Amino acid sequence: MAVTGAALEREAPRRRRRVSGATRLGVALFSPALVYILALLGLPLVLAFLYSVGDVTVGSVGYEFVGLENFRSVVESPSFRRALVNSFVFTIASQVIVIVCANALALALRERFRGRGLVRFLILLPWVAPISLGAIGWKWILDSIYSVVNWVLAKMHLVNLFDPPMWLGRPALAMASVIAVHSWRMIPFSTVILLAGLTSIPKELPEAAAVDGAGFWRTHFEITLPMMRPIINVALLFGVVFTFTDMTVVYILTRGGPYDSTQVLPSLAFQTGVLGSDLAEGAAISMFLVPILVAVAALMLRVAHRAEVV
């Protein structure tokens, strides 16, 4: 803030007098939001933890402490182990795709060209349209009988139309499909965030590098990308956390099948806790998400912090 020394001195006594009243008002203005968040997010989280070490089903009234019993039965189930591995595969694979694609896309959209506004808007569309809609569209495209993808591939003589690939019916293909659709959903959001990071880089730097003889790729990897590190971290943090806790794409496309091959932790927790009415075990499964998320968040924040300092 550009305030001269004299102005600061004149301001100081007045400000000090004002502080206590303003601070009280500040607290008064801030507390409703804080109380609301604590009551409807913090408290349920504590309860969820209590559920996970208790004996609670949808019908039950009482509560009995059972210690780590739920966790033991969860860890021992093959579905859970499968879902844990799947969650990591799903999150890492889709985030790698998302960051690479969003980066390229953000670079392209930084340029001024005819129709850029339209392209930007159209790319945002998958994010605005309900994901259930996008997922239904994809489900239809990957349908076992009416798949338009298969039809095109058959025309190109790449697949046999009478024995087409079952995009959602074979374990490996189903996983690949779910990852592709989730990436489809996440790229717009990351692109917009990265675009913001790109526009905040002073234009002079890459231009100076270009004058000094650095090519496009060299400028990109040695100047633009390092400067974008903090913003990439933000996009990645949001993306990882969101992907790890979301089940929409899996639920609509495959419901976790075939044979649990696309089951991820959130969808398993949903099936067990809500559809299966075993609140305690569902809560126990979702508790496994928490330490992993905290670790990811702490790691990312540290990386972001360091990047800012350097």
Partner 1 sequence: MSPRSAWTIALPYLAFFLLPLGWLALTSFWPDAELARPLPSHLTLENHAAALSGGGLARAVLNSLLVSGATAALALALAAPAAFAVARLGVRGGRALLGGALAISMFPPIATAAPLYTALRAARLLDTLPGLVAPYTSFSVPLALWLLTGTFRALPVELYRAARVDGCTPLGAFRRVLLPLAAPGLATAGLLVFVFAWNELLYAVTFLTSPSRRTVPVALALFGGEFRDPFVVLAAASTLATAPVVAIAVLFQRRVVAGLTAGAVKG
145-174 positions binding partner 1, by CB under 8 A: 146, 148, 151
Q: At its nearest, how many Å lie between partner 1 and the CB of residue 268?
A: 9
Euclidean distance between CA atoms 165 and 180, whole angstroms:
16
Site residues for partner 1, window 38-67 (CB under 8 A)? 39-45, 47-48, 51, 56, 58
* 195 contacts partner 1 (rule: CB under 8 A): yes
- Minimum distance of partner 1 from residue 46's CB (angstroms): 8
Please tell me whether residue 221 binds partner 1 under the rule CB under 8 A. no
Q: Which is nearer to partner 1, 175 or 186 (CB)?
A: 186
Number of residues that bind partner 1 (CB under 8 A): 101
CB 171 within 8 A of CB 261: yes
Compose the 76-115 pattern: x for residues touching partner 1 by CB under 8 A, - for all others: -------------------------x--xx-xxxxxxxx-
Nearer to partner 1, 48 or 166 (CB): 48
231 sits near partner 1 (criterion: CB under 8 A): yes
Task: Name which of residues 244 to 283 contact partner 1 (CB under 8 A).
Answer: 244-245, 247-248, 251-252, 266, 269-270, 273-274, 279, 282-283
211 binds partner 1 (CB under 8 A): no
In the list 53, 98, 99, 193, the residue contacting partner 1 (rule: CB under 8 A) is 193
Q: Where are the alpha helices (DSSP H) in 129-166?
A: 131-141, 148-155
- 63: helix, coil or strand? coil
Question: Does residue 122 interact with partner 1 by CB under 8 A?
Answer: yes
Closer CB to partner 1, 23 or 160, in the complex: 23
Exposed, middle or buried by CB within 10 Å (0-12, 13-18, 19+), for 37? Answer: exposed
Residue 146: Cβ within 10 Å count: 10
**Closest listed residue to residue 263, CA positions, set 174, 136, 180:** 174
d(CA 246, CA 270): 11
Out of 82, 179, 189, 263, which residue is the one contacting partner 1 (CB under 8 A)?
189
Q: Which one-letter amino acid corresponds to residue 106?
A: A
Tell me if 223 contacts partner 1 by CB under 8 A.
Answer: no
Distances (CA, A) of 20 to 7, 14, 25, 28, 207: 21, 12, 9, 12, 49
Task: Closer to partner 1 by CB, 85 or 108: give it.
Answer: 108
Give the shortest CB-171-to-partner 1 separation in angstroms.
Answer: 22
Partners of 65 in the β-ladder: 54
d(CA 175, CA 226): 32
Minimum gap (Å) between residue 159 Cβ and partner 1: 14
d(CA 253, CA 245): 17
54 beta partners:
65
Distance, in Å, from the CA atom of 51 to the CA atom of 228, rounded to the nearest integer, reads 42
